[in-house]
Amino acid sequence: MIEDDFYRTSSQYRLWSFTAASLQAQRATTNAVASDRVRAAIRRAQEARRSATSSATGTPVPEVEGSTSTSTSTNHPAKAEEKPIECLTPEEEQQTVSYYCEQIIQLGEAYKPPLPTIVRATAIQYLRRFYLTNSPMTYHPKQIMPCALFLATKTDNYYMSLRQFADGVPGDTTAEDIIAPEFVVMQSLRFTFDVRHPFRGLEGGIMELQALAAGQGQPAPHLAATTQTQTPESLQRGLLALPLSSSSKNITDRIARAHHTTREILKSAAQITDVYFLFTPAQIWLAALMLADRALAEYYLDTKLGTPAPSSSVQEAEAADGLAALRPKLLRTLNDCAVMLQAYKPLASDPDQMKTLRRIIGKKLYHCQNPEKVNLGGAGQKRIPAAALASSAAAAAAAATPTGGVDSGASESEMERLAKKRKLETAAESSSGSKDIFGGELVMQRTKER
């Protein structure tokens, strides 16, 4: 079909479409590579610290620039000397990413006026694509998320200055913090910025349904040439004959409701699940419409593919062969997609999931963050002062020692110190503003529980 070939030229189809198996394998690879690198990096940090303490006994070590806010996360290696470092599993990584995808929706809402749905959706897909080849252990989503959103404002023609954008980001995130990972993000996106969303397609479908309802329907091109069964009137009659669902007054109302519900699904479930990787935008919005109003969606599909009615002549069946052959496969695919969409539950509304998340992000990720990537300037941004760039490993290593001048690596005291420091940090975070939606909320809740 011509429309399908149109989609096949897109970078989304060429680079960002996967089978369920290949998607899983990709995530497994990413996780494995990142885990290895994290372990190696932490070990290096320990090495550096040990050699440092032996050479600089007693002398206070100067603080290194550029390793300020996040430097504490590099303090844990001491503990790791005793225990093997526990890395995130691919599933845990995915949950973490999903959480920050939800955060994008909220962050976008916080702007005045709120950022357009499509900008937020693009940012979410950027984040999801980014974490196919990167691990949250390497780059914390907290740092990547605002960058992805800012990049989306640029690529989706909703341009605002970085300063303006940074003002909308709660907390003390600076403009530099936001822009620092931009290159890493773009490289991970393989320099493809176009995301094909299902939103505009939904509008098209609704337009057609409204035309059908108004008796202005057009028969599908394949059916138009061969049969007289589809006329605007017959199409309208068919639509009106659908068994009425619960509360709709009339067909216009029904379409409007379906429209609204579908759109909500596309804004939430379609964004946070894997459907963009596994299905096409046309399939996604139709699957969402099936969830919203199954009868309506199926009738609409029938007008496109022809009814599988046995009464129709052989000739007719042959004529619409291309589309008719598509039918069973398409229905299966739409069902798969619908199942996936329906299974989605917003993380924030589910206490069980939040509890798990708190464990993952608040504790586990905190310990297995790659110390060499903590400062994203280390990833090579030219804007970051060269001193920070010189050796991120060294910076991390240096930052690991300043507190304990006579630190002998004793695990007990180190753990105590770490715990204290973390508490202080969380306290600071909670005081910095309740609007912190960068995962601060999670940590806050943890402190409350304690």
Partner 1 sequence: MAVSPLIPNPASHAAKTTDATRESEVNGSERSPYKHNMKYSSHVTNEREITEQLNDDVRHKYIKDKRLGEGTYAVVFLGHLRTDPSSFVAIKKIKINAEYKDGLSMDAIREVKYLQELSHPNIIALHDVFSSKDQNLNLVLEYLPRGDLEMLIKDTNIHYGVADIKAWMGMLARGVWFCHENFILHRDIKPNNLLIAADGEVKLADFGLARSFADPYLNMTHQVITRWYRPPELLFGARQYSGVVDIWSMGMVFAELLLRVPFVAGNTDLDQITKICEAFGTPNEDNWPGVTKLPNYLPADPNHVVPLQGRDFFLRQFPTAGPVGADLLMSMCTFDPKKRSTACRVLQHGWWTTEPTPTDKKNLPRKIDGVKKMGADLTRRGGEIEDSTFKNAARQLNFTAARD
Partner 2 sequence: MPSAREAMANRGDDDEVCPVCKSSRYLNPDMQFLINPECYHKMCESCVDRIFSSGPANCPVAGCHKTLRKARFRKQTFEDINVEREVDIRRRVMQILNRREEEFDSKRAWDDFLEQREEIIANLVHGTDVAKTESDLQKYASENMRSIRANQALEAQEASSLKEQQTHEQELARLRREAAKQEYENERRELQASREDVLTRLAAGRPGDAAAIAREGKKVLLKKSSARRSEEDRIRQKQAALRNSDARKAGQGGLTADKADIAGDSGLIKGLKKIVTPEPEKPYDPFGGMVPNKRDYYTLRDFYPSSYLDPIRQDTRMQAGGYDLQEYYSRTLMEAFAGLGCFIDEEVAQRDDAGSLGVSRPAATQGAAQAAVSSTGTPEAS
CA distances to 220, 224, 324, 333 from 307, in Å: 12, 14, 8, 18
One of 83, 112, 163, 329 touching partner 2 (CB under 8 A): 329
Interface with partner 2 (CB under 8 A), residue total 66
Residue 191 found at the interface with partner 2 (CB under 8 A): no
One of 76, 142, 222, 373 touching partner 2 (CB under 8 A): 222
**Stretch 105-164 residues interacting with partner 1 (CB under 8 A):** 133-134, 138, 150-151, 154-155, 157-162, 164
**Among residues 19, 22, 25, 27, which one has the least CA distance to residue 90?**
27
Assess contact for 359 and 86: CB atoms under 8 A.
no
Q: How far apart are CA 43 and CA 37, in angstroms?
A: 10
One of 284, 398, 437, 444 touching partner 1 (CB under 8 A): 398
CB of 311 to partner 2, least distance (A): 24
CB of 442 to partner 2, least distance (A): 27
Residue 275 found at the interface with partner 1 (CB under 8 A): no
Residue 227 found at the interface with partner 1 (CB under 8 A): no
CB of 222 to partner 2, least distance (A): 7
| Single-letter amino acid, residue 170 | P
Who contacts 344 (Cβ-Cβ below 8 Å, separation ≥6)? Answer: 268, 269, 272, 273
Q: Mutual orientation of helices 20-55 and 90-109 as an angle, nearest 10°? A: 90
Interaction partner, residue 381 (partner 1, partner 2, none; CB < 5-8 Å by kind): partner 1
Interface with partner 1 (CB under 8 A), residue total 63
CB of 436 to partner 1, least distance (A): 24
CA distances to 213, 233, 234, 326 from 241, in Å: 11, 12, 10, 25
Q: How far apart are CA 56 and CA 415, in angstroms?
A: 22
Whether the CA torsion 387, 183, 171, 74 is positive or negative: it is negative
One of 47, 68, 200, 410 touching partner 2 (CB under 8 A): 200
Residue 4 found at the interface with partner 1 (CB under 8 A): no
Stretch of residues binding partner 2 (CB under 8 A), selected from 20-28, 261-269, 368-376, 413-421: 20-28
CB of 70 to partner 1, least distance (A): 18
CA distances to 13, 95, 135 from 30, in Å: 21, 15, 6
Phi and psi, residue 85, nearest 5°: -70, 130
| Single-letter amino acid, residue 42 | I
Residue 397 found at the interface with partner 1 (CB under 8 A): yes
| Stretch 174-213: interaction string toward partner 1, x if CB under 8 A | -x---x--xxx-xxx-xxxxx-----x-------------
CA angle 295, 296, 301 (to 5 degrees): 95
| Single-letter amino acid, residue 303 | T
Q: How far apart are CA 274 and CA 339, in angstroms?
A: 12
Q: Is 219 or 281 the residue whose CB approaches partner 1 more closely?
A: 281
Q: Mutual orientation of helices 321-342 and 294-305 as an angle, nearest 10°? A: 160
Whether the CA torsion 318, 294, 207, 205 is positive or negative: it is negative
Interaction partner, residue 202 (partner 1, partner 2, none; CB < 5-8 Å by kind): partner 2
One of 32, 56, 110, 309 touching partner 2 (CB under 8 A): 32
Residue numbers at the binding site for partner 2 (CB under 8 A): 1-4, 6-8, 13-15, 17-20, 22, 25-26, 28-29, 31-33, 35-36, 39-40, 84, 87, 132-133, 190, 196, 198, 200-205, 207-208, 210-211, 214, 216, 218-222, 224, 278-283, 285-286, 304, 322-323, 326, 329-330, 333
